[in-house]
Amino acid sequence: MEEFDLALETDDAYSYNYDQRIEPSILNEFASAAFRFGHSMVDGMLKVYGLDKMEAAIDIPEIMFHPARMRKREFYDQMLSTMTTEPIQDVDNSMADALTRYMFRAGNPFGVDLASINIQRGRDHGLRPYNDYRELVGQPRIKSFDEFGSELGQKLQNVYASVDDIDLWVGGLLELKYDGSVLGLTFRDIIAEQFSRLKRGDKYFFEHDPSVNPGHFSPEQLQELRKVTMSRIICDNRDGILLLRQAPNAFRKPGVPENEFVDCTNPVIPHLNLMYWQE
């Protein structure tokens, strides 16, 4: 956030860092590889909770193309509760069978392999090898498969003729995590560069000042918008049948010190005051 100047302004201030020379479109590397790191974090099973206990454990492939559960009154709250309480998996060389063997199987014995699709997509989109992007973000190029460790290195050597053939999506997942991040430096920088371009290169970015943004917000509206958190969005869009509480930081583990569950009406999760949009 600091390196790429991604933090929002404070209070009711406008942003004045719009640069018309910056191309705000989505980077090929971002869309085709880096932002697909999340596929490695997916658990193949959804644990569905009631008010006080887990009621079901559902294999993801069993609900693909089978939306009947969505007709249950409590299902939406159950899914929100599941997604905000279950821990993520590490970004690494492992993916759930639900995504690599049974995805979209729709009653068939097997489905498609998301890992293979990701690799092929990168090639179809003409992405350069992983090593080129390592060099681009200031890292030394990988010279030997052994740099991935003996086990992973051997597996990579079995499928790639050279370390310079390793696909961006594959190499990015295997990269050592950077300074407490869930990602290595290559994916981290590609994603941060994309967010920076969206923020600085799009004149309609919500913070930009009236001289740039024809649809600008008022200072009071900006102050309200900056209060919005993911936890508030979840609380405001729940059905309120099962999901009554939420941790203030939806992106951190809930129910622990400094992120204890609170009622959705608690001011610890700020509300957006729509009075400033009243005409």
Query: Binding site membership for heme b: which residues?
Result: 39
Strands 45-49 and 54-59: antiparallel
Say if residues 208 and 18 touch (Cβ distance below 8 Å): yes
Say if residues 209 and 16 touch (Cβ distance below 8 Å): yes
CA distance 179 to 7: 19
Count Cβ neighbours within 10 Å for each residue of 78-88 and write b for 16 or more, e otherwise. Answer: bebbbebeeee
Residue type, 236: D
* Contacts of the segment 53-60: beta carbons below 8 A, 24+ positions apart: 59/98, 59/102, 60/96, 60/98, 60/99, 60/103
Strands 245-246 and 262-263: antiparallel
